Amino acid sequence: MTEAVLGIIGGSGLYDLPGFEESEWVSIKSPWGMPSDDVRIGELNHRKVVFLPRHGRGHVFAPSDINYRANIDVMKRAGVTDLVSISACGSLKEAYAPGSFVLVDQFIDRTFARQKSFFGRGCVAHVSLAHPVSPALVDMVEQAAKLEALDYVRGGTYLAMEGPQFSSLAESELYRTWGCDVIGMTNMPEAKLAREAEICYSTVAMVTDYDCWHPDHGSVDIQDIIAVLKRNTEKAQRLVSRLASILPKDHVACPIGSDRALDFAIMTASDKRDPDLLARLDAVAGRVL
């Protein structure tokens, strides 16, 4: 059996978790470049937890400047089996008010300025993203949310925009016609790369505002967002702590095969594979290479 290691990618309030015992900041090198920061590794409720601040400590990286490949690679190197992304987002539906959480199950990727795959010339691979989150992990996140009496909804589509600017009104209205539930700037290509790395992935989208479509709320106000973010941080801390307490000691195999996504994904003939690329893929795809 494989030890379950909980990975958390999120904001600053989450690396000061109460009870994050014997934790330390660890620098992990990646062949994909510099990750956003060191990772903080320790124990929380008797489970190994690895935390990575997505934007770096002090929020130094804009969404488009994040090295998503390096971030996922270092989480894989740290042994993470189950990764939860905790992300601020805007709401595209009246029912999802600021302060509520959405356990996302689908994504629409509208980003265009980011490296989105570990694979390419010299080693081509195609993984399935029909169901981009891992249901067994979401089950545990939902259980934790219930036990903490959080205002949440399970299921929803996350529209990933490039940023760093917020949406125009026309864009916001367009995404609503597509049936999207929340909008953010960071979960793509993060979810795609986690699938390529065979890490079970789940998103907790923390609603901070109504984007700009809502007639009673007008344009996005950054001061209002920060105020809601602070309130959401305490809820997210409770959620993560509770999740660590219910995570099984041994990793639960993903019912949709997230943790074996590369079984039949690599298309390039073994004698045609680029040795330099294979060396960079040692952590991400070492199981099948």
* 211 in catalytic set: yes
152 known ligand binder: no
211 known ligand binder: yes
Catalytic-labelled residue, pool 37, 82, 209, 259: 209
CA distance 28 to 286: 17
DSSP 212-226: TT-TTT-S--HHHHH
Extract the tokens encoding 67: 């090295």
Q: How many CB atoms lie within 10 A of CB 76?
A: 26
Strands 21-26 and 39-44: antiparallel
Extract the tokens encoding 85: 């992304």
Catalytic-labelled residue, pool 211, 221, 263, 271: 211
SS3 content of the chain, % helix, strand, coil (to 5): 30, 25, 45
CA distance 241 to 230: 17
55 known ligand binder: yes
177 known ligand binder: no
209 known ligand binder: yes
* 209 in catalytic set: yes
54 known ligand binder: yes
Q: Which residues are marked as active site?
A: 209, 211
Residue numbering of the annotated binding site for substrate: 185, 209-211
Residue numbering of the annotated binding site for phosphate: 12, 54-55, 87-88, 186
